[in-house]
Structure 1
Amino acid sequence: MFIYTLVFMCTYLSVKAEEVHCPQRTGFFPDPYQCDLYYVCSKGKAEAKLCPDGLVFNDGNPNFERCDIPANVDCGDRTELQQAKPSRGCPRANGYYRHDNPLACDKFYNCVNGKPHELPCPPGLVYDDVASSCAWPQDANRKDCTKPIKDVLDDGFTCPDGPTMTADGRTLPHPTFAHPNDCQKFYICRNGIQPQKGSCSAGKVYNEDTFTCDDPDNVPGCETYYKEKKN
Structure 2
Amino acid sequence: MNQFFLLLTIPFLGAYAGDIHFECPRENGQFEDPYQCDKYYECSDNHASELLCPDGLVFDPKIKSDNKCDQPFNVDCGDRKELQTPKPSGVCVRQNGHFPHPDSSVCNIFYNCVNGHELEVTCAAGLHFNPKTASCDWPETSGRVGCRSEANKQLDDGFQCPTDFRQIDGNGQMITHHTYPHPDDCTKFYICLNGVEPRQGACHAGLVYNEEIQRCDEPENVPGCEDWSNSTTKS
TM-score range, shorter chain: 0.7 to 0.9
Aligned residue for 2:232, secondary structure, equals helix
1:96 aligned residue: 98
Structure 1 residue 217, shift from structure 2 partner: 4.0
Specify which structure has the higher proportion of helix.
Answer: 1
* C-alpha spacing 1:177/1:168, structure 2 compared with 1 (3 Å): same
1:185 aligned residue: 188
What is the rounded CA distance, in whole Å, between the counterparts of 1:23 and 1:191 in structure 2? 52
2:44 aligned residue: 42
Q: How many residues align?
A: 219
Find out whether 1:199 has 2:209 as its counterpart.
Answer: no
| Residues 53-108 of structure 1: per-residue CA shift (max 9 Å, x gap) | 22111111365322112111111111111122234323222211111012211001
* C-alpha spacing 1:74/1:148, structure 2 compared with 1 (3 Å): farther
**Which among 142, 145, 157 is matched to residue 143 of structure 1?**
145
Structure 1 residue 140, shift from structure 2 partner: 0.8
Q: Is contact 2:206-2:230 (8 Å) kept?
A: no
CA RMSD of aligned residues (A): 3.1
What is the rounded CA distance, in whole Å, between the counterparts of 2:174 and 2:209 in structure 1? 19
Structure 1 residue 157, shift from structure 2 partner: 4.4
Q: Is contact 1:204-1:215 (8 Å) kept?
A: yes
1:61 aligned residue: 63
Q: Is contact 1:93-1:115 (8 Å) kept?
A: yes
Select between 69-78 and 53-62 the one with higher mean Cα deviation: 53-62
What is the rounded CA distance, in whole Å, between the counterparts of 1:212 and 1:117 in structure 2? 35
1:219 aligned residue: 222
Aligned residue for 2:94, secondary structure, equals coil
Q: Greater Rg, structure 1 or structure 2? A: 1
Structure 2 unaligned regions, length at least 5: 1-14
| Residues 2-41 of structure 1: per-residue CA shift (max 9 Å, x gap) | xxxxxxx97xx43xx4311111222111111111111111
Aligned residue for 2:185, secondary structure, equals coil
TM-score, with structure 2 as normaliser: 0.77
Query: How many percent of aligned residue pairs carry the same amino acid?
Result: 46
* C-alpha spacing 1:27/1:62, structure 2 compared with 1 (3 Å): farther
Structure 1 residue 133, shift from structure 2 partner: 1.6
What is the rounded CA distance, in whole Å, between the counterparts of 2:55 and 2:198 in structure 1? 40
What is the rounded CA distance, in whole Å, between the counterparts of 1:162 and 1:125 in structure 2? 18
What is the rounded CA distance, in whole Å, between the counterparts of 1:123 and 1:212 in structure 2? 20
1:116 aligned residue: 118
What is the rounded CA distance, in whole Å, between the counterparts of 1:23 and 1:34 in structure 2? 17
Structure 1 unaligned regions, length at least 5: 1-8
Select between 23-32 and 151-160 the one with higher mean Cα deviation: 151-160
In structure 2, give the amino acid aligned to 1:176: T
Structure number with higher relative contact order (C-alpha < 8 Å, ≥ 6 residues apart) = 2
Structure 1 residue 51, shift from structure 2 partner: 1.0
Aligned residue for 1:229, secondary structure, equals coil
In structure 2, give the amino acid aligned to 1:135: D
Structure 1 residue 215, shift from structure 2 partner: 4.0
